[in-house]
Structure 1
Amino acid sequence: MKVSLNGIPKLILLLFLFFMFSCDQTEYPPLSSSASIEYNPGQIVWHDLITPNPKQAMDFYSDLFGWTYKSLGTDDMAYHVIYNGSQAIGGIIPLNVTTHPTGEWLSSVSVPDVDKAVEYNTFRGGKTLFKPSSFKGRGRSALVQDPQGAYIAYIHSESGDPKLQAANNSWLWNELWTNDVDGSLAYYTGVAPYKSEQITEEKVPYFMLKSGDQKLCGVMKNPVADMRSAWLPYIKVIDVESVASKATSLGAKIMLEPQDQIRNGTVAIIQDPNGAPFAIQIWNQ
């Protein structure tokens, strides 16, 4: 598998400028449409794609998954909200194609207190990329780099957290590929009320981060040499082979082909045309 996620050198500055603009002028769709406001700390509740070519990315994901978009802000600093049917599930943020030739998906995890989560990240040796700020319609959020090098956003939503569900062509799972499994497990169990549990049926050591009986995300040793730690989002599909084949025809690259010895052939890992990796998986439970 080949993927480039090492060092987006001006990411901090570009996201700072983008979010400063957004804080002042943009109202975001709520994370939850439920009448009751409920929180599920530790749940990953949103995904943003940073990409050097938003138009190409939007066309790719629309053709592959049927996603639609609503653009907020001006053309050069637009934030493109992703919809799966009527549900807002993520956003697309532009980056400079010259300085940032590849994209990446950024995950947002629900926390009770964003400011305290950032303080904890600093205490543990992480970096603050965008300080805690409030966004109209969204709530309070911050972007950090955890002590093992992975980017993660902390969020406390105005509308509560969306229900845990796995709609077709939407988010199914999130997995941390880390260069320090023990360090990551120790870190994230301090971010949210996670308990870690090793899953013995996997081919490689695999850890589940759970809250009570809820399985919220996975942690495994980074399988890609010379790549910093990163979060990998999963998207639920009905037919992994046909989606992988279509992705290839749309200009994507396959990092991991479906194969029987890995989760019974239900998983593939794809890089979109701008280099952002994501996984697809069949899930019938």
Structure 2
Amino acid sequence: MNDSYKPGTPCWIDLMVPDQQAALDFYCDLFGWQGEVGPAEQGGYAVCTLKGKPVAGIMKAMNPDGTVPDPLPPTVWTTYLSTDGIDGTLKSATDAGGTLMMGPVDVMDLGRMAVIADPTGAVVGLWQAGTFDGAGIVNEHGALIWNELATSDLSAASAFYSAVLPVTTDRSEMPGAEEYIEFKVDDRAVGGMMDLSKLPPGVPPHWQPYFHVDDVDEVQASAVRAGGSVLAPAFDMAAGRMAVLADPQGGAFAVITASMPEQPA
């Protein structure tokens, strides 16, 4: 990425885990990232890089006072949507039925962040860039290529995100994916949305990151060898070949070899 992310576009992801070092080892080996536990003044937050550019964050699950939560929260990837005015976005979110989960807080001079839940219960972050725009590499092996919302109410979710950010929603024009909804910014697809009923019972509404990989089957096998698990084995679909995996601590993510991946902006 050479430019800042337009408001409404997924711009960053991070993972909160009980064992930060184990997560760093797993993802760095799987995707070729570099990363280490960050300084104490940043809560140990690790910014993982690929080819010297930031691709994702990994942090240890802890309370604001530095103690370990009991019980531990679930291990999940959080998607962050770009905004150019986080306070206004939060007001729009709560007015539209969303719930403030955390923030807004300043992250040094890097930017301002908050976490909300949409009216269907899916948790998503918001990021107002300062000196840090977000992911510096996308759409390459080991980097973010897509973010997807699984929700129990497509209409309610569409209305919410369109009221909160300058995004529109429309059915996919990709052959074989007519039931899939795309989030668009300036008529460019930046993310997707699917009906939660297509997933196994008990899966809550959530946002999930997709990483582009050169060989889905090879990455799936590597994840299993490293202690991860397979939630949906590699399969072919409209956009390419993909699999849904989980790291050894339960964090779910998808990998895809896209048939026609977007070129980095």
TM-score interval, normalised by the smaller of the two chains: 0.7 to 0.9
Match of 1:105 in 2: 77
Is the deviation greater in 205-214 or in 160-169?
A: 160-169
Classify 1:101/1:157 alpha carbon distance in 2 versus 1 (closer, same or farther; 3 Å).
closer
1:139 aligns with 2:111: yes
Match of 1:51 in 2: 17
Give the letter for the 1:50 counterpart.
M
Match of 2:158 in 1: 185
1:177–1:219 Cα contact (<8 Å) kept: yes
Q: CA RMSD in A?
A: 2.3
User: How do residues 210-221 of structure 1 correspond to structure 2 at under 5 angstroms?
Assistant: 210-221=184-195
SS at match of 1:227: coil
SS at match of 2:250: coil
Classify 1:211/1:160 alpha carbon distance in 2 versus 1 (closer, same or farther; 3 Å).
farther
SS at match of 1:67: coil
Classify 1:204/1:94 alpha carbon distance in 2 versus 1 (closer, same or farther; 3 Å).
farther
1:194–1:211 Cα contact (<8 Å) kept: yes
Classify 1:199/1:265 alpha carbon distance in 2 versus 1 (closer, same or farther; 3 Å).
closer
Classify 1:283/1:119 alpha carbon distance in 2 versus 1 (closer, same or farther; 3 Å).
same
Give the letter for the 1:148 counterpart.
T
What is the alpha-carbon distance in structure 2 between the residues aligned to residue 153 and residue 193 of structure 1? 16
1:85 aligns with 2:51: yes
User: How do residues 1-285 of structure 1 correspond to structure 2 at under 5 angstroms?
Assistant: 34=2, 38-74=4-40, 77-95=43-61, 96=68, 99-100=71-72, 102-159=74-131, 161=133, 165-199=138-172, 201-202=175-176, 205-222=179-196, 223-260=199-236, 262-263=237-238, 266-285=241-260
Q: Percent identity?
A: 27
Match of 1:26 in 2: none
Is the deviation greater in 273-282 or in 209-218?
A: 209-218
What is the alpha-carbon distance in structure 2 between the residues aligned to residue 254 and residue 164 of structure 1? 26
Give the letter for the 1:196 counterpart.
T
What is the alpha-carbon distance in structure 2 between the residues aligned to residue 89 and residue 164 of structure 1? 6
How many equivalent residue pairs? 250
C-alpha displacement at 1:112, in angstroms? 1.9
TM-score with structure 1 setting the length: 0.81
Structure 2 stretches of 5 or more lacking a match? Answer: 62-67, 261-265
TM-score with structure 2 setting the length: 0.86
2:24–2:36 Cα contact (<8 Å) kept: no
1:38–1:160 Cα contact (<8 Å) kept: no
Classify 1:141/1:172 alpha carbon distance in 2 versus 1 (closer, same or farther; 3 Å).
same
Deviations for 1:74-121, whole angstroms, at most 9, x for unmatched residues? 399411111112011221121248622741000111012101111122
C-alpha displacement at 1:268, in angstroms? 0.4
